[in-house]
Amino acid sequence: MFRTMYHLLLLLTFLVPGACQPGYADIGIVSNGSSSYVIVLPDDPTQNETKAAKVLQDYLKRLSGANLNIVAEKNYRQQSGIFIGATEHTGDFNATKLKAEGFFIATDDKNLYIKGGSGKGVLYGVYTLLENYFGCRKYAADPVVVPVSKTLRLPQRLMDKQEPDFVFREVLYPSSFNDEFLEWNKLHRFEDLWGLWAHSYFKMIPPKTYFSSHPEYFALVGGKRQATQLCLSNDDVFNLAVAYLRKAMAARPDAMYWSISQEDNAGFCQCDKCRKANQEEGGWQGPVIRFVNRIAAQFPDKQFATLAYVYTSHPPKKTKPAPNVYIMVSTINASRHEPLSSSPSAAEFRQDLAGWKALTDKIFIWDYTTEFSNFLAPFPDYDNLQPNIQYLKAQNVKGIFSQGSADTYSDMATYNCYLLAKLLWTPSLDEKKLTNDFLNGYYGKAGPYIGQYMDALSNNVRRTNARLGIYDNPINNYKNYLSSDAMDQYKSILDKAESAVGNDSVLVKRVQTAALSVEYTSLQQSRFYGTEKKGYMVAMGRSYAVDPKFPARVNKFIQRSKAAGVKELSEGGANPDDYQRQWLGLLPVNGRTASLYMRM
């Protein structure tokens, strides 16, 4: 991110409210709970400028108690002003050109100016002022942390200009479903930017509508037409896709991107024409890129994207993507215990990325930061999140989609979402300062213990040479970072974390939510251990029975999972109620014990 600072103020050290730097005068936006300032909007403000002014007015009142009026520039009478957006008074700063979504925060001897580029830049500027200069924080979907201060000051001659390194920034965790979290932390969402998102073939040409009457529109697999993918060499398929897009674009003229991408399976068309394109281009990416280019030519003023994913991951041998086509390269085969830049498991990804870069500079990345087969399993990839983003920036990638657990809670989901959001805007941030600020701000006195827990996980992964895969199982790690001794270590730290917050119900719940990952792993492993130590069965005379503590333990886990927002325990898998029913097959019923093992 480009940044210019005409001040010794270090923006990213999380200043306390009212702080200033020696040697420079300050301007007092609020003094002793009152303000002589007004918020000034252009005479014909944009929607984002109007919203930015209202957000600033609201939070200044929450911070200090001062209620600043919002006025149109034509009604401004030369009093001290906070100028929002493209006002005439911002003219002295107009030489500072801004990229899309960029912004600047500037002061002169008396006034404050916040101006944005296109999109939500001006909103991002207001939220940055509130966070980096007045100490507010939006850590999650929870309410904003607002430190009350009757005096709010800024340095004179301030120029803080920020512009994004990535034109597309999406992180998919529960927090990112909160509108204010998105805007505060400068993230995007599918619905705002994309007219059509990935795995989109059947959105354009649904099998329910066409397969029975026109099977030739769909893939020829093993000599038989199947509704797995489209037949991309069929002209009728092309014409239907163009017609669909024309209509969709008329309904969504503001959409920036349109994804023309394969379904999430391997059944590509093997008809003679598709097979020929495959052979000429070196893989199934051949028919895909030719089809997408053909569509892109019909809409030269629109931006398209397609996936380089599994069977289409390699770059084609002959055909370059059209100038208005982005390639979204997937990292799905890379393990997560090592950074993408050096992990042997990411070697093929690095090779594919280099190949696509030789053909186009329009590259997006689809990355993965959770364990999809067990959302609650501890997944300590924390130390690689920043190196991966910095590596992708160095590769001149234009955008990143970081897929987490969507709207269901997963291991350290709140932290992951917050950290990734900050790094996607500013990859060079001090990750340790950012992490400590989050842990102490979100968990209070438990913050240092949550940090110890995360460090213990990461250290044990390294010490035991454990692998982190996005489709692993915590049972498989019982000899390395999720061993019996390691689990005891984590539980001990988390117990201290809960004790540290006393009777604060909000913080207790947050700590208990973080601890769900250890309890889930313990429950899963207990079924593997069976009658052994840490198993769910205990000796009763000459036989074994379910440990009497387990029914209450499972019930507590289920209740806390629901309270934490756990909707499913794996991608498309069981919800907490389903999980409890699975356990009912093992727990005593009417004094009798069910079978030892059950199907997962």
Q: What is the pLDDT of residues 164-218, one digit of tens each?
A: 999 999 999 999 999 999 999 999 998 899 999 999 999 999 999 999 999 999 9
Q: Is the pLDDT of residue 596 over 80?
A: no
pLDDT at 588 (0 to 100): 63
pLDDT at 96 (0 to 100): 67
CATH class of 171-177+185-425: alpha beta
Residue-wise pLDDT tens digits, 251-266? 999 999 999 999 999 8
Lowest mean pLDDT among 13-17, 292-296, 361-365, 429-433: 13-17
Residue in 374, 377, 382, 376 with CA at minimum distance from that of residue 336: 382
Mean pLDDT of 352-364: 98
Query: Which regions of 290-352 does DSSP assign to beta strands (E)?
Result: 303-308, 325-330
Neighbours of 14 (CB within 10 A): 17
How far is the C-alpha of 514 from the C-alpha of 580, rounded, in Å?
Answer: 20
Neighbours of 264 (CB within 10 A): 10
How far is the C-alpha of 377 from the C-alpha of 473, rounded, in Å?
Answer: 8
CB distance 513 to 409 below 8 Å: yes
How far is the C-alpha of 597 from the C-alpha of 477, rounded, in Å?
Answer: 19
Global pTM value: 0.92
Phi-psi region of 196 (alpha: psi -120 to 50; beta: other; left: phi over 0): beta
pLDDT at 25 (0 to 100): 84
DSSP-derived pairing of the beta strands 159-162 and 103-107: antiparallel
Mean pLDDT of 18-44: 83
3-state secondary structure of 386: helix
pLDDT at 93 (0 to 100): 80
Q: Is the pLDDT of residue 12 over 50?
A: no
Residue-wise pLDDT tens digits, 116-173? 999 999 999 999 999 999 999 999 999 999 999 999 999 999 999 999 999 999 999 9
Mean pLDDT of 557-582: 96
pLDDT at 234 (0 to 100): 98
Question: Residue 15 — very low, low, confident or very high, per pLDDT cuts 50/70/90?
Answer: very low
What is the DSSP-derived secondary structure letter of residue 130? I
Burial group, residue 398, by CB count within 10 angstroms (0-12, 13-18, 19+): middle
Percent of the chain scoring above 90 in pLDDT: 89
Q: Is the pLDDT of residue 22 over 70?
A: no
Lowest mean pLDDT among 17-21, 93-97, 280-284, 461-465: 17-21
Neighbours of 293 (CB within 10 A): 19
Residue in 416, 413, 420 with CA at minimum distance from that of residue 392: 420
How far is the C-alpha of 408 from the C-alpha of 29, rounded, in Å?
Answer: 41
pLDDT at 413 (0 to 100): 98
Mean pLDDT of 338-345: 97
How far is the C-alpha of 557 from the C-alpha of 547, rounded, in Å?
Answer: 16
Q: Chain centroid to CA 431: how far?
A: 16
For residue 514 the two structure tokens come to 């973080």
Architecture label for domain 11-164: 2-Layer Sandwich (3.30)
Mean pLDDT of 386-407: 98
Neighbours of 193 (CB within 10 A): 19
Mean pLDDT for all residues in the chain: 93
Query: DSSP states of 192-251 as a string?
Result: HHEEE-SS-HHHHS-HHHHTTT-GGGEEEETTEEEEEEE-TT-HHHHHHHHHHHHHHHHH
How far is the C-alpha of 100 from the C-alpha of 102, rounded, in Å?
Answer: 5
Burial group, residue 529, by CB count within 10 angstroms (0-12, 13-18, 19+): middle
Residue-wise pLDDT tens digits, 544-560? 888 999 999 999 999 99
pLDDT at 95 (0 to 100): 65
